[in-house]
Amino acid sequence: MALMPRKSPLAVAAVGAALALPAAASADIIEVGKLDPPATPSCPSKPCLAVSRTTGYQAKVGATRGLMTIPKNGRIVAWTISLGKPGKKQVAFFDEKLGGESQAQITILNPRRKLRSRAVAQGELQKLTPFFGSTVQFALDKSIVVKKGWVVALTVPTWAPALAVGLGADTSWRASRGKGTCEDTSTQTTQTQPNQLAQYYCLYRTARLAYSATLVTDPVPAPTTPDTTGNGTR
């Protein structure tokens, strides 16, 4: 007569420990604004076009709308920007005409009515010149608490070679410029003050801002599972 194998005390203990482990609370890491194929900035081609003296966000890419809208509550911990590589003469031209060295930061917007948005928070201002010709990620010194439905925008107080052009008419971005000022790309219109409200009236088609932001969502408690061991709790 064959004997049934006996479980070792170690195996029994391991099973008991596994049953006793609490369920993990999960969070997601989402790159807000990431979409393939990635945007390729125009510079150093001619004309070399740059984002200038405004705050903007991508409104649409093809059939994808709300590309920069935050999908869940959480924290923005970093942001990424792809930069063209303008030539020396192009850099000198932009520096002279648009207020100095290339710089940018992210701004979190709370959308309101009639294309208006209120600035909620900002990341630190970063110098971009050392990273021309590359894609660079900046970790935030302090993460930014965000809510579902808010928008991640790119603020450029001077200029940034982070604009892809020559795309389809179904691709567009909005800038913090009011009605009648869409052709004025040199006047300062950035949102840099807390609670500042601005109108994003100007829509620029066939172009795409080359940036994204890293969101760590709030953890969601795992569902509880019924006790099937027959052991009571107290």
Evaluate whether residue 65 is within a structural domain. yes
The dihedral built from the CA positions of residue 140, 141, 147 and 152, taken in this order, carries a sign that is: negative
Dig out the tokens for 206 from the structure.
Answer: 């066939």
The more confident residue out of 29 and 25 is 29
> What is the biggest distance separating any 2 CA atoms in the chain, rounded to whole angstroms?
95
What mean pLDDT, rounded, does the chain reach?
A: 89
How sure is the predictor about 148, in pLDDT bands with cuts at 50, 70 and 90? very high
pTM of the model: 0.84
Mean pLDDT across 31-47: 92
The answer as to whether 168 is a domain residue is yes
- pLDDT value, residue 22: 58
Tell whether 85 is covered by a domain. yes
pLDDT reading at 1 higher than 60: no
Work out how many domains the chain is built from and give that number. Answer: 1
Which of 32, 137, 156 minimizes the C-alpha distance to 80? 137
Nearest one of 29, 56, 58, 77 to 159, comparing CA atoms: 56
* Portion of the chain with pLDDT greater than 70, in percent: 85
In this predicted structure, what is the pLDDT of residue 229? 64
Closest CA to 125 of 153, 97, 106: 106
Q: What is the pLDDT of residue 26?
A: 79
pLDDT at res. 46: 86
Q: Which residues are paired to 52 by β-bridges? A: 159
Count of CB atoms within 10 A of residue 193's CB? 10
Per-residue pLDDT reduced to its tens digit, 177-198: 999 999 999 999 999 888 999 9
pLDDT greater than 50 at residue 18: no
Distance CA 199, CA 202 (A): 9
As a whole number, mean pLDDT of residues 157-181 equals 96
pLDDT at 19 over 70: no
Residue 167 pLDDT > 90, yes or no? yes
1 in a structural domain: no
pLDDT of residue 194: 83
> What's the pLDDT at 77?
98
Q: How many Å apart are CA 85 and CA 137, to the nearest integer?
A: 17
Q: Is 114 part of any domain?
A: yes
Confidence tier at 11 by pLDDT (50, 70, 90) = very low
Query: Over the stretch 216-228, which tens digit does the pLDDT of each residue have?
Result: 999 987 776 666 6
pLDDT tens for 98-131 read 999 999 999 999 999 999 999 999 999 999 999 9
Compute the distance between CA of residue 203 and CA of residue 171 in angstroms, rounded to an integer: 10
Q: Which domain holds residue 195?
A: 27-179+187-217
Is 230 inside a domain boundary? no
**Is 60 a residue whose pLDDT tops 80?**
yes
For residue 60, tell me if it sits in a domain. yes
Higher per-residue pLDDT: 230 or 12: 230
Q: What is the mean pLDDT of residues 147-170?
A: 97
